[in-house]
Amino acid sequence: MRNQQATQLIFELSVPGRRAAIYPKCDVPVDSVKELIPSGFLSEKPPALPEVTEPDVVRHYVNLSTLNMSVDTHFYPLGSCTMKYNPKRHERICNFPGLVDIHPYQKEENIQGILGILFEMQEMLAEIAGLPSVSLQPAAGAQGEFTALLTAAAYFRDHGQNRTKVIFPSSAHGTNPASAALAGFDCIQLKQTGNGLVDLEELKSHLNQETAVFMITNPNTLGMFEKDIATISKMLHDVGGLVYIDGANMNAIMGQTRPGDFGGDMMHYNVHKTFTGPHGAGGPGAGPIAVRDFLADYLPGPVITKTEDDDGNDYYQLTNPVKSIGRVRSFFGNVGILLRGYLYLRTLGAKGVKEASEQAVLNANYIKALLKDILPVPNGDLCMHEFVASAADVQKKNGISAMDIAKRLLDFGFHAPTVYFPLDVPEALMIEPTETESRETLDAFAESIKQILSEDSEYLHDAPYSTPVSRPDEVKAARKPVLKWTEPGK
């Protein structure tokens, strides 16, 4: 029988009476729990905690951790997620006592260090965006979108304009319409186009005095730069609307061009993606937004501003924008992630940031070139930092789906790419290598895909073979999820 210490639940390893530590008898008087807590608040029996030895606990969790696929263990080309390597130096510095042993309720003058760092972060994000005013508060990209849309709504309201429509292309991240709907706007989705880019004529047909915001990701989710972005921005501005740049794909353009320069009025960053941060499984994230000067008064507060103290030294203070929409998160956002992003930007510097995006684009084009004959990319000859290949042909010819390829890649020691997104591409495999991978890794990945495509489709339908769970029943998992352990017989 196979050792199941990692795959069994810790509850299933439990044997009554087992302990990790046995304490000596207490040699001072003890008050009974019953005397300390009124009986109405006492549970009738102790909670069913697992009873295990110390080696059981250690082996269970250490073995469990080895089943993880992470950037620290595997190449992780999960498209749209920018899973770049997170330097360990950041972790060490983030644990400095001066950064860890402080609290946001301390007096402003006692936390000048972190306020100074966050102020500089605001400045760097403004510079990379080409948009002067920044709020660090949003805790993730989607919250950044939502915050920016609330900011835009406050601006329109303040100017007596009733603008209700938010427009986005069919390749948009699902969060765009979700944020717009949550912020109270009506959503208009543009039709899918043959070349994967926004159709200016169609966009024009939707633009009028009701247009509030056009949300666009650039480069878009197909990994293509929306080359008409300046024209698009002008079209929006001509009807009094605003342009929102979803910054999910900033890794392709940081240091090369700036959203503010091609007409964007608002944008969010995904600091945890573009500027490193150990993300996955939902967080933690940081989604600061940058906006044009005329929107600054409406940003969430507080923001950090720099003045001088009586002796002429820099002094950082918290101020609330005059017409602020209020807080969207406590304090200054996810400071731990903002700090890692700050360290990344300070380590690379302006030149390094530019080189990183060049390398990210080069790596994506390299894999694309290696795979183009077996997994065609429907849109464009060149891509930005990622590309969307289609397994539609191999599915038709050999019965091998995008999901089969993704699952089998796990056996080869690679994290799967994003599959079935964007919806515009049938049997989509969205591959984003990032700049932190070597040519050898990229070669090995492409080689593995080639090998997978030569395998028998029936064999692939049951992959992966090397993981404790192979193919979960996804329908049952969604409809009847088992989210907690129940004591047998209960």
Partner 1 sequence: MSSSDLKFAKSHEWAKLDGDVVTIGISKFAVNLLTDLVYIELPAVGDSVSSGVSIGEIESVKAVSDIYSSVTGEIVEINDSLEEDLGALTEDPYGKGWIVKIKIADPSELDQLMDQKAYDELCQSEAH
Contact 190, 211 (CB under 8 A): no
Task: Give the C-alpha separation, 480 to 471, whole Å.
Answer: 16
Question: Hey, what amino acid is at 69?
Answer: M
User: What is the closest distance, in whole angstroms, from the C-beta atom of residue 245 to partner 1 in the complex?
Assistant: 25
Among 387, 128, 379, 420, which residue's Cα sits nearest to residue 254?
128
The label of the residue with tokens 């730069």 reads 225
Binding track, positions 402-441, relative to partner 1; x by CB under 8 A:
------------------xx-x--x---------------
| Residue 377 burial (CB count, 10 A) | 21
Residue nearer to partner 1 on the CB measure, 331 or 420: 420
Residue nearer to partner 1 on the CB measure, 11 or 421: 421
Residue nearer to partner 1 on the CB measure, 177 or 263: 177
Residues forming beta bridges with residue 473, ordered by sequence position: none
Helix pair angle (112-129, 335-371), 10° resolution: 30
Where do the DSSP E strands lie in 292-446?
303-308, 314-319, 387-390, 418-419, 428-431
User: What is the closest distance, in whole angstroms, from the C-beta atom of residue 455 to partner 1 in the complex?
Assistant: 21
* Helix ranges restricted to H, 228-324: 229-238, 271-274
The residues near 351 (Cβ < 8 Å, ≥ 6 apart) are none
193: tokens are 């186009």
- Residues contacting partner 1: total by CB under 8 A: 9
Site for partner 1 in 301-340 (CB under 8 A): none
361: tokens are 């684009």
DSSP 185: P
User: What is the closest distance, in whole angstroms, from the C-beta atom of residue 85 to partner 1 in the complex?
Assistant: 30
The label of the residue with tokens 């967080």 reads 283
Contact 442, 466 (CB under 8 A): no
User: What is the closest distance, in whole angstroms, from the C-beta atom of residue 420 to partner 1 in the complex?
Assistant: 4
User: What is the closest distance, in whole angstroms, from the C-beta atom of residue 115 to partner 1 in the complex?
Assistant: 42
The residues near 200 (Cβ < 8 Å, ≥ 6 apart) are 228, 231, 232, 235
Residue nearer to partner 1 on the CB measure, 99 or 392: 392
Task: Give the C-alpha separation, 258 to 113, whole Å.
Answer: 29
Among 113, 56, 98, which residue's Cα sits nearest to residue 314?
113
Distances (CA, A) of 436 to 81, 383, 456, 481: 14, 18, 33, 36
Residue 475 makes contact with partner 1 by CB under 8 A: yes
Residue nearer to partner 1 on the CB measure, 331 or 421: 421
Task: Give the C-alpha separation, 165 to 156, whole Å.
Answer: 12
Residue 479 makes contact with partner 1 by CB under 8 A: yes
Residue nearer to partner 1 on the CB measure, 300 or 417: 417
Q: Which stretch binds partner 1 (CB under 8 A): 99-107, 257-265, 432-440, 473-481?
A: 473-481
CA of residue 5 relative to chain centroid, distance? 32
Q: Which stretch binds partner 1 (CB under 8 A): 92-100, 238-246, 448-456, 472-480?
A: 472-480
Residue nearer to partner 1 on the CB measure, 284 or 376: 376
User: What is the closest distance, in whole angstroms, from the C-beta atom of residue 164 to partner 1 in the complex?
Assistant: 17
Question: Hey, what amino acid is at 55?
Answer: P
Three-class DSSP category at 422: coil
User: What is the closest distance, in whole angstroms, from the C-beta atom of residue 313 to partner 1 in the complex?
Assistant: 55
Among 10, 392, 398, 461, binds partner 1 (CB under 8 A): 392
Binding track, positions 261-300, relative to partner 1; x by CB under 8 A:
----------------------------------------
User: What is the closest distance, in whole angstroms, from the C-beta atom of residue 392 to partner 1 in the complex?
Assistant: 7
Residue nearer to partner 1 on the CB measure, 150 or 402: 402
Residue nearer to partner 1 on the CB measure, 232 or 416: 416
Among 49, 281, 478, 483, binds partner 1 (CB under 8 A): 478
Residue nearer to partner 1 on the CB measure, 178 or 239: 178
User: What is the closest distance, in whole angstroms, from the C-beta atom of residue 423 to partner 1 in the complex?
Assistant: 6
Residue 191 makes contact with partner 1 by CB under 8 A: no
Among 4, 295, 283, which residue's Cα sits nearest to residue 131?
295
Three-class DSSP category at 379: coil
User: What is the closest distance, in whole angstroms, from the C-beta atom of residue 45 to partner 1 in the complex?
Assistant: 37
Residue 480 makes contact with partner 1 by CB under 8 A: no
270: tokens are 């995904």
Residue 31 makes contact with partner 1 by CB under 8 A: no
User: What is the closest distance, in whole angstroms, from the C-beta atom of residue 239 to partner 1 in the complex?
Assistant: 24
Provide the binding-site residues for partner 1, judged by CB under 8 A.
392, 420-421, 423, 426, 474-475, 478-479
